[in-house]
Amino acid sequence: MTNSNNLTNSKKRQFRALALLTVLCIYLVVLAGGVVRGTGSGMGCPDWPKCFGRWIPPTHISQLPVDYQEIYGAKLKGEVEFNATKTWIEYINRLIGAFSGFIVFVTLIASLSFLKTNKPIVLGSFAAFILIGLNGWLGAKVVSTELAQYMITIHFLLAILVVFALLYVFARADSDANTELSVHQYTTLSRLLIATLVISTIQVVLGTQVRTALDQVVNRLGYEQRVNWIDNLDWHFYVHRSFSILVLVLHIAVVYQIRKVIQGTSVYKLGVTMMAIVVMEIVSGVIMAYGGVPAAMQPIHLLLAVVMIGLQYMAWLRISPKSERLESQLETVSSQRL
C-alpha cells in the first residue's frame, strides 16, 4: 500500500512540475506579446501563419517582391512597411505561442493517467488545450483586423483563462494544497480574494484601453514627443491610475486576513508574494507614466499584471474546502440563506 501511495505521489509531483512548466510557457507568451505591443511590431508579419508568404521571414527588403506593399497592403486595407526587426519580433512571438500550444497538448496527454482517479485534472487540461487553440485562432484574427482593440483584449483575456485552467490542474494534483478553515474564515477570505480578482481583471482591461489610446497619441505626436505622450492620454489613463490604489488596498486586506487566520502556510507566502508583485506593478506604472513610457518597461508591466492575477486565483484555489465537514457546513449555510 505504501509503495502504491509513493508511486501515486510521485506521479502527481511529475505532473505538477509539467503543469507549472506549462504555466511558465504561457507567461512567456504574455511577455512576448508585451514586447510585440511595446515595440509596435504587431503588423511585423502582415499575413498568418506565414510571414510575408514565407515560413522563414525575410531579413532584408531585397527578399520581398518589388510590389510587396501592394500585395499585403491590399490584403490588410492599409500600407505595409517592411522592418526586419519588427518582423522577427512578431514571428518569434508566434513561435513561442506555437511551442506553448504543444506543451499544453503534452499536459493534456499526461493528464489522461488521472482519468479514473481525478477526472477534474483531465477536464481542466482539456479546457486549457481548447482555450489555447482558440487563442491561436484569435491571433490570426488580430492580424486580419489590423490590431483591432476588441480583438487584442479578447486575445489577452483568453491567455489569462489558459493560465487559470492550468493553475487549476496544478492545484488539483496536490492533495495537500488546501487549508482547513472555519466556514466564517473561508467565506470572508474567499469573497475578498474574488473581489480582488475581479477588480484586478478590470484594471488589466483598462490597461489595454490605455495602451490603445497611447498608440493613437504616438501616431499623432510621433516618437520625438515621447515626454508628452502621457499628458495627451484620455480618461482611461486616469481611471487606470486611480484603480491601482484600490488594487493595492484590496491586497493589503487580503494579506491581513490571511495573516490573521493561516499565517505560516503556503497561502500566506502566496499573499506576501502577491503584495510584492502589486508593489512592483505600481512602480513599473509610475516609471512608465513619468519616465517617457520606456519600451522595455511595457512588457514587464503587462507580465506582472498577469502573474498578479494568477497568484490571486491560486490563493483562492488553495483555501477551497477539502474536508467533507467544511463542505457540508458551507452547503448548510447556503441552504439556510435560500
Q: Which tens digit of pLDDT belongs to each residue from 293-337?
A: 887 888 899 899 999 999 999 989 888 765 444 445 445 545 555
Q: Say if residue 200 is in the same domain as residue 67.
A: no
Give the cell for residue 226.
515621447
The total number of structural domains that make up the chain: 2
Q: Say if residue 166 is in the same domain as residue 121.
A: yes
- Measured between alpha carbons, how far is residue 263 from residues 176, 253, 271 in Å? 16, 14, 10
pLDDT for 319: 83
Q: What are phi and psi of 107, to 5 degrees?
A: -65, -40
Contact between 190 and 138 (Cβ < 8 Å): no
Question: Could you give the CA distance from residue 86 to residue 45 in angstroms, rounded to a whole number?
Answer: 8
Question: Could you give the CA distance from residue 33 to residue 28 in angstroms, rounded to a whole number?
Answer: 8
pLDDT for 36: 85
> pLDDT averaged over the chain?
82
Q: Is the pLDDT of residue 4 over 70?
A: no
Q: Say if residue 118 is in the same domain as residue 232.
A: no
Distance from the Cα of residue 59 to its chain's centroid: 31
Q: Say if residue 184 is in the same domain as residue 328.
A: yes
pLDDT for 181: 66
pLDDT for 322: 55
Which residue in this structure is represented by grid cell 505532473?
A: 15
Q: What is the mean pLDDT of residues 286-297?
A: 84
What is the per-residue DSSP string for 178-224?
Answer: -----HHHHHHHHHHHHHHHHHHHHHHHHHHHHHHHHHHHHHHH-GG
Confidence of residue 140 (pLDDT cuts 50, 70, 90): confident
Contact between 97 and 131 (Cβ < 8 Å): no
Q: Domain boundary at 124, 141, 175, which?
A: 175
Q: Is the pLDDT of residue 176 over 70?
A: no
pLDDT for 148: 72
Which residue in this structure is represented by grid cell 515560413?
A: 55
Q: Say if residue 133 is in the same domain as residue 274.
A: no
Question: Could you give the CA distance from residue 195 to residue 199 in angstroms, rounded to a whole number?
Answer: 6
Length in residues, the chain: 338
Q: Say if residue 244 is in the same domain as residue 148.
A: no
Q: Domain boundary at 175, 199, 222, which?
A: 175
Contact between 224 and 234 (Cβ < 8 Å): no
Residue ranges of E strands in the chain: none
Confidence of residue 23 (pLDDT cuts 50, 70, 90): very high
Q: Say if residue 132 is in the same domain as residue 211.
A: no
Q: What is the pLDDT of residues 210-246, one digit of tens each?
A: 887 887 887 788 777 777 888 888 888 888 888 899 9
pLDDT for 78: 53
Q: Say if residue 170 is in the same domain as residue 189.
A: no
Give the cell for residue 202.
478590470
Percent of the chain with pLDDT over 70: 85
Q: Say if residue 162 is in the same domain as residue 184.
A: no
Q: Say if residue 213 is in the same domain as residue 268.
A: yes
Q: 37, 35, 31, 29: which is closest to 210 by C-alpha?
A: 37
Q: Domain boundary at 175, 205, 229, which?
A: 175
**At 305, is the secondary structure helix, strand, or coil?**
helix
Amino acid letter, 309: I
Sorted by sequence, the CB contacts under 8 Å of residue 182 that are 6+ apart come out as 326
Q: 100, 106, 124, 126: which is closest to 24 by C-alpha?
A: 100
Q: 97, 106, 102, 176: which is closest to 137 by C-alpha?
A: 97
Q: Say if residue 3 is in the same domain as residue 23.
A: yes
Q: Say if residue 200 is in the same domain as residue 155.
A: no
pLDDT for 311: 93
Range of the structural domain that residue 168 is part of: 1-175
